[in-house]
Structure 1
Amino acid sequence: MQHRRPRLSKKAKTLTATAVALAAAAGVTVAQAGEPSKRCTAFDTITLGKYYVNNNLWGQDKGTGSQCVWGDSASGDTVSWGTGYTWANNARGTDADVKSYASTVLGWHWGWKVDQARTGLPVKVGDRKKMTVSWEFSLSSTPGTMNVAHDLWLHAENTADWQDQPTDEIMIWLNRQGGAGPLGTKYGSVSLGGAMWDIYQGDIGWKVYSFVRRTNTTKATLDLDDFTQALVRRKLLGNDKYVSGIESGTEVFKGTGRLDTKSYSVTIG
């Protein structure tokens, strides 16, 4: 069965006192003690150079559990980081509900946490700038139901701030486990970056396009311009849109697992 992403925003929400206590109590069980700069509070962040790691538990109200993130190192454009998690459904949740998307953030995510000038964003789609993302990671042997994906946010203007909803979202799935599947319906397929991808189209108040790699990988270097232009050629995206944010992380539906990033970098231009 394909799991669907719910119609919920990934905006930060206020964490209840109960959930804070749960995260604090369970944090050591989902991430090994001793990782540098570990954070287990929902929506807490760790700045790593021009990026930040976001413990984004946007779907936690549909689950029982906790998640931690940690930052290991930053050198120039390259960082390493990780996350550990344990999630089960509560009475309101199902296997189709995403509980979290712990991720690195470059640029816009309902505002700008790091100085915008350092990020190289936004990039106008029609300008055809290279947006090279390199990522090497490892997963625990039984990561549960989850995916590992890039997530791009797009706006109609180059001045997006905290109050501006995106017009489009592009997800690029590198790896999926436990039957996880994308929102929407299959639109077609495309060969990009040395791999075949199935394209899905959905809507959660803005358009969501998902490129799902047919074979899992734990290491990839991609030019994100290739993916935006694949949508432009299909008349699904306009060259007048702006890529405002680039995120990379793991959407967890359920299970206990861990993702460790050996190296991650984004270069613009």
Structure 2
Amino acid sequence: MPFSTLVALSCLFSLGIAQTITGQYDCLPAGGFTLCQDLWNQSAGVGAQQTTLLDSSTETVSWSTNWTWANSPDNVKSYANAKSLLSNGIQLQNISSAPTSWHWSYETQSSDIRADVSYDIWFGTESSGDPASSASSYEVMIWLAGLGGAQPVGTQITTGTFIAGLTWNLWKATNTNWEVFFFASAIGDINSFDVDLNDFFKYLVEEQCVAPTQYVQGIQAGTEAFVGAGNLVTTAYSVSILPT
């Protein structure tokens, strides 16, 4: 094959990987994940956001999210995220481990930035229920960072709780349809996160009365943008659930 043809094919492959989405609810297939913009509350502010898929496979995904938002500094505007297509439909009591790895950085950020970097995990009574719906019983967020003083809503119910080798402050709130638990890092930003999510699941069952019969309905990872401007880059993210 001529060298020029190889170069052309290489360029086409690269262009196929580096895809950018800009619409409010635009999503992209990304190997074993779906990458979504999710500007669910954009009407609360003024701004723009785009999310770019950098690379993906069945096991891992990398992406960037660049955003600028103004107004209503205490309100989340968006949650650009990668959702696993394979880590769901299993009861908590039947999980042996849920390994995850997330390496990220805010490569740029304005002085007035307010944002978090977080997992958004959903439990429900039905294995096939949709996250964030009437089928959901619990939303579990794990905040690896709260930039610009951003903090969870609700009430803080523990301080300095040790889970997965790290220290967290636990918050709790009640939504119309489900309860929400927030594990907020008590040690600052965690840019390299390599843990077993099942440690959090076991804690919720043993200490917060979450029924072990609850199903994991979905696991997402991304950034909630409040105000300011920033560019989150995830160089590698993976998650899986292994049954007993």
Shorter chain as normaliser: what TM range?
0.7 to 0.9
Decide whether the 8 Å contact of 2:154 with 2:171 is kept in 1.
yes
The residue aligned with 1:237 is: 210
The residue aligned with 2:175 is: 204
Matching of residues 19-168 of structure 1 within 5 Å: 36-89=18-71, 94-107=72-85, 119-142=86-109, 144-161=113-130, 164-168=134-138
Decide whether the 8 Å contact of 1:52 with 1:105 is kept in 2.
yes
Q: CA deviation at 1:174?
A: 0.5
Q: CA deviation at 1:248?
A: 0.2
The residue aligned with 2:4 is: none
Residues 155/75 of structure 1: CA separation in 2 closer, same or farther (3 Å cut):
same
Decide whether the 8 Å contact of 1:46 with 1:70 is kept in 2.
no
TM-score, normalization by structure 2: 0.86
The residue aligned with 2:240 is: 267
Within the candidate set 157, 160, 164, 1:187 is matched to 157
Q: Determine the C-alpha separation between the residues in 2 that align with 1:244 and 1:41.
A: 25
More strand by share: 2
Task: Identify unmatched segments of 5+ residues in structure 1.
Answer: 1-34, 108-118
Decide whether the 8 Å contact of 2:104 with 2:233 is kept in 1.
yes
Q: CA deviation at 1:140?
A: 2.8
Q: CA deviation at 1:164?
A: 4.1
Identity of aligned residues (%): 31
Decide whether the 8 Å contact of 1:123 with 1:129 is kept in 2.
no
SS of 1:140's equivalent?
strand
CA RMSD of aligned residues (A): 1.7
| Residues paired across the two proteins, number | 221
| 1:96 aligned partner, one-letter code | D
Within the candidate set 177, 184, 192, 2:147 is matched to 177
Matching of residues 210-221 of structure 1 within 5 Å: 210-215=182-187, 216-221=189-194
- Which structure has the larger Rg over C-alpha atoms? 2
SS of 1:38's equivalent?
strand
Residues 161/220 of structure 1: CA separation in 2 closer, same or farther (3 Å cut):
closer
SS of 1:167's equivalent?
strand
Q: CA deviation at 1:36?
A: 1.4
Q: CA deviation at 1:75?
A: 3.0
Decide whether the 8 Å contact of 2:98 with 2:239 is kept in 1.
yes
